[in-house]
A = this chain, B = another copy of it.
Amino acid sequence: MKTLEDLHILIEHEIDQQEKTLEPKELYEPIWYTLRNGGKRLRPVLVLMGCHIFNNEVTAALKPALGIEMFHNFTLLHDDIMDKAFLRRNQPTVHIKWDINRAILSGDALAIQANVYIASVNPKILPDVLGVFNKTALEVCEGQQYDLNFEIRDEVSEDEYMKMISLKTAVLIAGSLKIGALIGNASKEQADRLYSFGHDMGMAFQLQDDYLDSFGNPETFGKKIGGDILTNKKTLLLIKAREFADKASIKKLNKWYSTKKGNDDKKIREVVEIFKKFNVDHYLRKQVYDFSQKALKTLDQIDVSEEYKSELVNFTKQLIDRVS
């Protein structure tokens, strides 16, 4: 039985094996820069684990897993242009280190390389795998568009926000597990269940991310606390705060969220104070817990030995305690 950590090592090894000197270097340098820059490798590890729980041997899932990591990194590369982000994992983003053209074009090439790796699966399951992958890829774009739309809207409902994070984050986590399951020769029904588990786990994962952005420990979180607040992101914290808070607090929130100027530290402090005062932090923790529980219930219905499921169970249980 392989642990998530074992699978992580396999992924890093597979990435290290990549050809590093393709031409033209102006196109491939930013790709290599992005891929080697680490990150959790959550999605490719889940492709491998999705395979592993149905089939001990994961070699056939390695290239498709790398394809998923490439696709994820392609979306980050383009999202960072759209979000005008300067840093990604503490390194300058591609459009800052080089320029926007390089970021657009090397992102495109990375997406195509992802297709190449996904297409390396056994021809027998290729149509099904592409069905999941292409549908998921399009949904991720839709999620990013909703996210951009919300930036210039005053009000976003809870349902709209949940749909956005489902598309932008949860479906790729779900799709990664399902693709792994298909490679591991799971039945369609079992693969769908694993997708459903992954979707709820992905929702919990994203909501915990939102929680940590306001309430995390700066020393363990790895990012500056309050990033979502400073960029006026309409996260579930804000949406529920506007619902739960008193008039004076809502007025204060609206004032802070109507501009990106002003005293950053004061803004973060005052907004987080309101979140806490009206228990929005508890509401969010409850959501993370509920989605985790729902995910675990689905996982329980998947017909493989408990031992093989245990890594996914532990990972899901620890989501609520994760600090980075």
Contact = CB atoms under 8 A, between A and B. Distances in A.
Interface in A117-133: 119, 123, 126-127, 130-131
Interface stretch (A103-111, A282-290, A303-311): A103-111
Interface string A72-89: 000000100110000000
Contacts of A127: 119, 123, 126
A42 interface: no
A135 to B, nearest CB: 8
Contacts of A131: 119
B101 A149 contact: no
Interface residues of A, number: 35
Q: Please give the count of copies of this chain that the complex contains.
A: 2
A91 interface: no
A112 B130 CA distance: 11
Contact of A105 (B108, B109, B116, B144): B144
A138 B126 contact: no
A125 to B, nearest CB: 10
A148 interface: yes
**DSSP class of A's interface residues: helix, strand, loop or mixed?**
helix
A145 interface: yes
Given A116-B134, A146-B24, A141 B105 contact: yes
A24 B119 contact: no
A24 B112 contact: no
A155 to B, nearest CB: 16
A324 interface: no
A40 to B, nearest CB: 23
A306 to B, nearest CB: 36
Interface in A121-169: 123, 126-127, 130-131, 134-135, 137-138, 141-142, 144-146, 148-149
Contacts of A119: 127, 130-131, 134
Nearest to A133: B115
A300 interface: no
A26 interface: yes
10 contacts: A24-B149, A78-B104, A82-B104, A104-B104, A105-B145, A112-B141, A116-B134, A116-B138, A119-B127, A123-B123
